[in-house]
Structure 1
Amino acid sequence: MLHEFSRTELLIGAEGLRKLAQSKVAVFGIGGVGTFVVEGLARSGVGKFVLVDDDCICLTNINRQLHATRKTIGRPKVEVMRDRILEINPKAEVTIFQAFYLPDTSEGIIANDYDYIVDAIDTVTAKIDLVCKAKAKNIPVISSMGAGNKLDPTKFEVADIFNTSVCPLAKVMRQELRKRGIDSLKVVYSKEEPLKPVETENSSCSLHCVCPPGTTRKCSTRRQTPGSIAFVPSVAGLIIAGEVVKDIVFERV
């Protein structure tokens, strides 16, 4: 009998689908990268999700975030992404945390039964803490490096963090993880040199903030808002989804 994942089954077999259906994957950061991670995992047949993000969808998310449309502006990102998963696969189990992940807010969010953790957060402190806690619990983790201020999606690579170059975020992560005794971390990063955003008075978030009501961390508080485009963070997210699926199906972790 044909089903929604029949074409996937032709590639990975019924046993591969079973492994994915029984897996629980936690995605931290449901933005430009994270939404495409979730999309790729949901359409591959992953059966259990945990979504973590405190943000609500903003008008400025429409250019790159999968869940962002005129109809979803103002809604919590985790709620919209949960609904999208269930439209793809009604049998999926989805737990959401509308929370900003930081070391002092992590209690109760990272569970021992996660089969994989995806770090798609854009805050360095949170990324480092999440990776360290995942490693301490022996949960496989993959981390997204910088996807902002980039234009070339063909420059992304999968590598260990200590084999990366060019990416400024990866450099900081290498330094901080080394201090904490972490000797390996799978990442997706770009070898493209970051571009300098061309901010004008009309395009400045700090001068014309349109964050929806209830937003706790407004873009106007950022030191600098990175530029972004549809086809860069999406590619990073789908690469990450592919790594998670292959690691689970072929038991590479």
Structure 2
Amino acid sequence: MNVDENMLLTADSALFVRSEALIGAEGIERFRKLRVAVFGIGGVGGYTVEALARAGVGTLYLIDGDTLSYSNLNRQLFALHSTIGQYKTAAAAARIADINPACTVYQITRHVLPADDGTLPDLPFLPDIDFIVDAVDTIALKVALAAAAESCGIPMLAAMGCGNKLRADLFTFTDIYSTSVCPLCKTMRSLLKKRQVKRLRVLYSREIPNVRSRPPSSVSWVPAAAGILLAGEVLNQVLLGGVSER
């Protein structure tokens, strides 16, 4: 065994030493077996992906068709002057490999949009997924993902509006039908009822938007906080046994 292999083994064994004291070897193993699809890896989803990788999630599917631009620098984890112009999925995969090489990353580098009837296009990886995180902006896709997840019995968390806000401390988890204040939630409630979606766990803000700019304005800390909270909710559900292997 050469020096590089020894160093890699040492790094692998040390990566989760602080985590194992909290969640035990069984928790580490649950995360290793977990397969999570994150739709949208921008301001919110990028931080979700990072937290999942650092926690030891074994397989990540990254779905995003955008490239990184200068306007992303104020809030997106993978946006650096050195990554401008790269696909977000590629920049994310490279960073994950540098953090947790054991994490298997699948890049779905395209814009996923629902068909005219509201159904999702063919996503062959979906039956293999244990958990879906919706961090996209497109309302039609959010609705289609929620309907598909419920139909397939896949646990899902959805981020609601994070733009035009300043208070990261006002996020909360609840069912979509128990939300208030958030304009996106109001629209989602109506559309999900039409699709007969019975429930959807969401992260939403109780903050009244400060402005109503288009595209939505954003700061560094609000989407980041939302992304970390989403990752934590996924992982805590796994630890509490709320997510079974598929």
Structure 2 length as normaliser, TM-score? Answer: 0.90
Question: Does the aligned pair in 2 maintain the 1:128–1:173 contact within 8 Å?
Answer: yes
SS at match of 2:158: strand
Deviations 1:28-66 (A, max 9, x none): 001000000001101111010000000000000000000
Q: How does 1:34-183 map to 2 (within 5 A)?
A: 34-104=45-115, 106-108=121-123, 110-183=125-198
SS at match of 1:3: helix
How far off is 1:110 after superposition? 4.7
Specify every segment of 5 or more residues in structure 1 that has no aligned partner in the other structure, as ranges: 199-223
Q: Which runs of 4+ in 1 moved over 4 A?
A: none
Give the distance between the partners of 1:240 and 1:197, measured in 2 at CA: 24
Distance 1:126 1:242, change over 3 A: same
Give the distance between the partners of 1:148 and 1:106, measured in 2 at CA: 28
SS at match of 2:238: helix
Specify every segment of 5 or more residues in structure 2 that has no aligned partner in the other structure, as ranges: 1-9
Paired position in structure 2 for 1:206: none
Give the letter aligned to residue 81 of structure 1.
A
Give the distance between the partners of 1:107 and 1:58, measured in 2 at CA: 29
Distance 1:161 1:110, change over 3 A: farther
Question: Does the aligned pair in 2 maintain the 1:37–1:240 contact within 8 Å?
Answer: yes
Distance 1:26 1:10, change over 3 A: same
Structure with more of its chain in helix, by fraction: 2
How far off is 1:106 after superposition? 2.7
Flag the structure with more relative contact order, 1 or 2, with Cα contacts below 8 A and sequence separation at least 6: 1
Give the distance between the partners of 2:46 and 2:24, measured in 1 at CA: 26
Give the letter aligned to residue 182 of structure 1.
V
Give the distance between the partners of 2:89 and 2:20, measured in 1 at CA: 28
Identity %: 43
SS at match of 1:103: coil
Q: How many residues align?
A: 228
Question: Does the aligned pair in 2 maintain the 1:97–1:109 contact within 8 Å?
Answer: no
Paired position in structure 2 for 1:245: 235
Structure 1 length as normaliser, TM-score? Answer: 0.87
Give the distance between the partners of 2:222 and 2:206, measured in 1 at CA: 13
SS at match of 2:105: strand
